[in-house]
Structure 1
Amino acid sequence: MTDVRDRIRLVHVVWRLSVGGGIPQVSRQVLAGLDPARFDCHAIIARPAWEEDELGELGPNVTVHSLDHEGPTRPPDEIRLGVRIAARVRALRPHVLHAHSGTARLSLPAALGSPRLPRVLEVHEPLKDGLHSRLTNGIEVGMVKAAGFRPFAHSTQVRDATAAIVGWRPSRIPLVPLGVPAHEPDPAAGAALRAELGIAPETLVVVGVGRAAQKNIPLMVRVGADVVRELGDAGPPVVFLIIGRQEPEIQALIDELGVGRQVRVIAPLPRLSDAFDAADLFLSTSHYEGFGLAVAEAMMAGVPVVGTAVGGVTDVVADGVTGRLLRAGDRGGLVAACRELLTDRALRARMGATSRERVLARFTRRHMLDGFAEIYERAALRGRRS
């Protein structure tokens, strides 16, 4: 949009801008990636500016305002934080206020204190009972219906569910898919990781990523064990790599199933792309995904996907074209799909090439930044017309 002529002062209200975690990571990418000629970016964070968060890496166009709250947060603490956020917002006089589902209530006092300030709500999951409490979701529904927060979503499923909850047509809620960095597959990096992990060149590698409960890592372990057993000595050798720090129960389950050599937990890597360059197949067993960034990253590297048809994964993966999608919890279906792709090299190659083409066409970081920029420009334009 070209009729917003001045720099737009944007304020994100987030709990923390850590280097890990989906919401903080996307916020960091957006704040640091927006065009500094068009946007003046600020982030108000409830937590202190810890050294481990590497906030200096966000660059000169991002100013972080930390409220230095440490320890657990009780309702009185949230009220005090909300009042402090409102005061900071009034001082900054932004053109757009950006809140996030799950913590949006912290932005409510700022919105009430600046009634003409355009405000947007990034909806990471439908505003219903599930990942957050009934009270949190009820507040956020009220913020949309009565406090002027304009929602946008990253996936069709989240958009449509949110529209039904607030009583809107889905077309009223913009869809802004997330995006991953453009990455040229690097076979040498993949081979180096395989060698580091002691994986023979002829062994097929299935990669899964994540730690949160929604990723259903126990199911991933069981699917891996079933595939290993079904392929047996006659099938191609295969190793399942589960990347991310796991609870002790996961390793105990691997040991119980007797597949410690073939199903392995790997600590987070300095470059996750190395794992995708080493992979022949990506496995997602989540029972919920707001979008599915790791799925898109694997596809960017030319890796086909076997996954559960949940949330944004159904937007990213084209079933039967770039991989196979099964209903959540379908252990048998996931095992069968893994076996199919692991034993059919031509199918893997065809789906992998199409996967990369799909992500390059729809789900790059550039696509994401352009989508966020349009959300902010439209909001700022509404404010200037009011």
Structure 2
Amino acid sequence: MRYIPWITTVLLALLTTHATAAPHHYPQVRPPPESEIPRLVIYFQTTHDDQGRPISMLPLVTVRHIALTHLIVCSLHVHKDGIVHLNDYPPSHPMFKTLWKETEIMRESGVKVMGMVGGAAAGSFTKDTLDSDDDKTFKHYYRQLAEVIRKYKLQGLDIDVEQPMSQEGINRLILRLRIDFGVDFIITLAPVASGLTSSNGGLSGFNYQLLEEEYGGLIDFYNAQFYNGFGSMHSTAHFDKTVAAGWDPTKIVIGQLTDRGTSAHVSLNSTIMQLREKLGAVGGIMGWEYFNSDPGGISAPWEWAQAMTKILRPGLVPDIKITRDTAIELTKAWVKSAQPAAAVLCANVGGAVNQACAASALTPNVDYMAMVNA
């Protein structure tokens, strides 16, 4: 989002001084630029293939006819008596060298790179961690999360609460993020679509309508899950119901599963066209997740983003430059990311066979040099 420079200072000062004031007294963040709506958002959770080789996200900005706006790296998990993990390992693990190097390129291309905390794995939002009634406990685990955001230069955080959390707890987390990271930091939530119109927020336990009423000025948008029985885009009915309940249609990004075949694209396109005709604009489309997206599947997952760009954002493709030096750095990072899996794969062979195994396992499956254009 874009803001005039002085508003950051004003917002932080007021939030810090009036932390106990009524939420509607907080300065409201400005609307996103017109060029950002409708948004195209993709979650990037599966970071390696079944042989332990890093999966590249760069085709999302190097392949033609893709106009991605946000990429969400996930899933960050907060562990009681432990440290934050990215999926099953600390974010600093060598296997993520490629991931973090490539996010630098994504940011340079204009894509907003965010993190996601929570998801289906329990633990991040319990009374022992981020929903603790004890402020000292909350600060301990929040500090870990904030350190990850800063270290890897994440431009926002998606809060995916899929376990019961208190209204006070979600309010506190959002407020603290806004105080610490300023108005340019992107804060989103990922409710199931039905949770937007129910008092208990579906899987989350708190009331999203109340959250939006009181703290909506601090929240950029919602990645609503219109799938798995919690919502559907086979027609406009569920989105119509959401808007009728008072939601701003440009603040709702329509979440879809990416591995449901090309027939789903045709249906979605028809529904989006109808919604835009009625409402003028919608918040965009979100895809869960990248690595096996149709129609290309595992071999060409970026084709889903091409299809969504045709539906949402034709003509808004970013211009990215990759130098030879950058390509060399990316190749080195890929090798480092693949080394942990290669060590396991080749552990039980020796001599020349081991060398051949290692050489094969450490040969990048993405040609970074072919991406050089500057």
- Using the size of structure 2 for normalisation, the TM-score is 0.32
More RCO (CA 8 Å, sep 6+): 2
- Using the size of structure 1 for normalisation, the TM-score is 0.31
The structure that has the greater radius of gyration is: 1
